[in-house]
Structure 1
């Protein structure tokens, strides 16, 4: 039922975000979101490497 997000859905979401946050806030919001995703990925990788070390 719920598949991937298509181009039209992504454009609608971007349009709504532009209306809600305004054009000046979107770059800051994007940087913050990117940094959050990066730190989450780093945390998951660190956790995986620690669990592999414990198994050895």
Structure 2
């Protein structure tokens, strides 16, 4: 959870991502970041769940 928050803070503070400009690049960058974060977090949780089910003893 804190890693996701850290990525979003870095996007705003260091990469100066804002939605005030008329270009669609900032919004596209934000959507891409959220998509990648969702894939990484969701994939990690999915892998851990399946490892837990496959490694259960008994």
Common fold: TM-score over 0.5: yes
User: What's the offset of the Cα at 1:34?
Assistant: 0.3
Aligned-pair Cα RMSD in Å: 2.4
User: What's the offset of the Cα at 1:50?
Assistant: 0.9
- Indicate the structure (1 or 2) with the bigger Cα radius of gyration: 1
Which runs of 5 or more residues in structure 2 are unaligned?
Answer: 1-5
If the length of structure 2 is used for normalisation, what is the TM-score?
0.58
By relative contact order (CA 8 Å, sep 6+), the higher-ranking structure is 2
Alpha-carbon distance in 1 for matches of 2:54, 2:32: 33
Which runs of 5 or more residues in structure 1 are unaligned?
Answer: none
- Higher helix share goes to which structure? 1
Q: Deviations over 1:3-37 (max 9, x none)?
A: xx7x8xx53x143x57xxxx310001000000100
Runs of 4+ in structure 1 over 6 Å off: none
Q: How many residue pairs were aligned? A: 43
